[in-house]
Amino acid sequence: MKRPVSCEWNITNYCNLKCSFCSMNSTHHKDFENLNITKIKEVARKIKEVGCIYVSLSGGEPMSHPLFFNIIKELRKKKLEVTITTNGTFINPSNIKKLEKLGIKWIQISLHGNDPDINNKIMGGNVYNVIRKSIELVKHSSIGISVSSVITNENKASIRKLQEELKLKNITHITRKCMFVGRAALIKKELNIGRKFEIEKISKNCGLFFAIAVNGDIQPCGEFKVKLGNIFEDNLIDIWKNSPILRMCNKGSRCLAEIYENNKKFRTQINSMI
């Protein structure tokens, strides 16, 4: 395969919120000891060596990590473009200035409709107004912004209203159906809205080439929790070149993460490749 263009780095499983549909099973347990400066430098070097151009920092809540800005600095030293996926609760004027100085080009913030009560219930905290302020802070900075919403039965009406509002503000809005993995798998019936909501379809693949878990495990993506190797123990270039699972993901038209989670036959097939 050609070199990967982008990867996702999950730098912590800790999150200060508890979204009902969280596919990452994020927790309130702080696991920051998994990364130190030495490991951060090693990961940055290997991401660069495998050929990536873009790195998406995710979690959990990536901005909660005490070494968050150090991680960005090491990635930027390698001339890697960094994007951030965040719930927005750690964004403030001081952090925006730091991110601008580090050359961050894009931040994606989660907001699940324009109804404060529904959003707060879904996200597990009284954070609607905080996130709204964060969106405005990024919008008025030099950093690009998108807002990401997961569609459920509960919030689909308020998401339509949010779409209209963001369009007027020229803010990119990304709508996603719920991935029934992680915490979301426990409440599938409540979350599933089938095909009633128009969602942009993936024509080739999601654009992510591989993911790095908190402990260094290499996975097809954060939702597709199949260990292909470990960045601290194995050769990332070899994993990229030789993994049949990565080849399947990068040429397919359907997301394989949810199929793996819910289809026993497919899961057995994938596990035989590991």
Does residue 259 fall inside a structural domain? Answer: yes
184 versus 116: the higher-pLDDT residue is 116
Rounded to an integer, what distance in angstroms lies between the CA atom of residue 35 and that of residue 12? 9
Domain that holds residue 195: 6-271
Angle between helices 128-139 and 116-123 (to 10 degrees): 100
Query: Tell me, what CATH number does 258's domain have?
Result: 3.20.20.70
Domain count, the chain: 1
Rounded to an integer, what distance in angstroms lies between the CA atom of residue 65 and that of residue 31? 9
Does residue 137 fall inside a structural domain? Answer: yes
Rounded to an integer, what distance in angstroms lies between the CA atom of residue 197 and that of residue 91? 30
Nearest 5°: the CA angle 10, 17, 145 is: 65
The model's pTM: 0.82
Whether residue 251 is predicted with pLDDT greater than 90 in this model: the reply is: no
Torsion of CA 74, 77, 80, 85, to 10 degrees: 40
Whether residue 264 is predicted with pLDDT greater than 70 in this model: the reply is: no
* pLDDT band (50, 70, 90) for residue 24: low
Tokens found for residue 50: 């495998």
Average pLDDT, integer, range 215-244: 90
Does residue 36 fall inside a structural domain? Answer: yes
Does residue 57 fall inside a structural domain? Answer: yes
DSSP secondary-structure letter at 200?
A: P
Per-residue pLDDT tens digits for 173-221:
988 765 544 444 444 454 444 334 333 433 344 555 899 999 999 998 8
Does residue 1 fall inside a structural domain? Answer: no
pLDDT at position 138 = 98
Residues of the chain with pLDDT > 70, as a percent, come to 77
Does residue 28 fall inside a structural domain? Answer: yes
Rounded to the nearest angstrom, the gap between the alpha carbon of residue 166 and the centroid of all alpha carbons in its chain is 21
Tokens found for residue 273: 């490749």
Does residue 117 fall inside a structural domain? Answer: yes
CA nearest to 248, candidates 232, 217, 234, 269 = 269
Tokens found for residue 125: 């905290």
DSSP bridge partners of 7: 55
Please give the single-letter amino acid code of residue 56.
Answer: S
